[in-house]
Structure 1
Amino acid sequence: MKVWVMGVGLAVMVAALAACESNATNQDAAKPAGGVTPAEMQVGEAKFTANCAACHGVRGVGTKQGPPLVHKIYEPNHHADMAFQRAAENGVRAHHWEFGNMPKIEGVTSGDVEHITRYVRWLQREAGIY
Structure 2
Amino acid sequence: MKISGKHILYAVGLIALPVMMVLAPIEDTAKTSPVETSAPAGMISVALPENLTKEAVIGKRAFDAACASCHGANAAGQDGVAPPLVHKIYEPSHHGDASFHRAVQQGVRAHHWSFGDMPPVEGLTQSDVDAIVAYVRELQRHNGID
- State the TM-score, normalizing by the size of structure 2: 0.67
Q: Secondary structure at the match of 2:39?
A: helix
Residues 74-97 of structure 1: CA distance to partner in whole angstroms, max 9, x if unpaired? 000000000000000000000000
Q: Percent identity of the aligned residues?
A: 49
Q: Structure 1 unaligned runs (5+)?
A: 1-21
Indicate the structure with greater strand content.
Answer: 2
Is the aligned partner of 1:71 residue 2:79?
no
Q: Is the 8 A contact 1:30 1:58 kept in 2?
A: no
Is the aligned partner of 1:85 residue 2:101?
yes
Q: Secondary structure at the match of 2:111?
A: coil
- State the TM-score, normalizing by the size of structure 1: 0.75
Q: 1:39 to 1:109 in 2, by over 3 A?
A: closer
Indicate the residue corresponding to 1:56 in structure 2: 71
Is the aligned partner of 1:46 residue 2:67?
no
Q: Secondary structure at the match of 1:24?
A: coil
Query: 5 Å matches for 1:100-115?
Result: 100-115=116-131
Q: Which amino acid aligns with 1:121?
A: R
- RMSD over aligned Cα atoms: 1.9
Q: Equivalents in 1 of 2:132, 2:78: separation in Å?
A: 18
Aligned length: 106
Q: Which amino acid aligns with 2:65?
A: A
Shift of 1:41: 1.6
Residues 42-73 of structure 1: CA distance to partner in whole angstroms, max 9, x if unpaired? 10000000011011111110002100000000
Indicate the residue corresponding to 2:144 in structure 1: 128
Q: Equivalents in 2 of 1:106, 1:74: separation in Å?
A: 22
Q: Equivalents in 2 of 1:62, 1:40: separation in Å?
A: 22
After the TM superposition, which of the residue ranges 39-48 and 90-99 deviates more from structure 2?
39-48
Higher Rg of the two aligned structures? 1
Indicate the structure with greater helix content.
Answer: 1
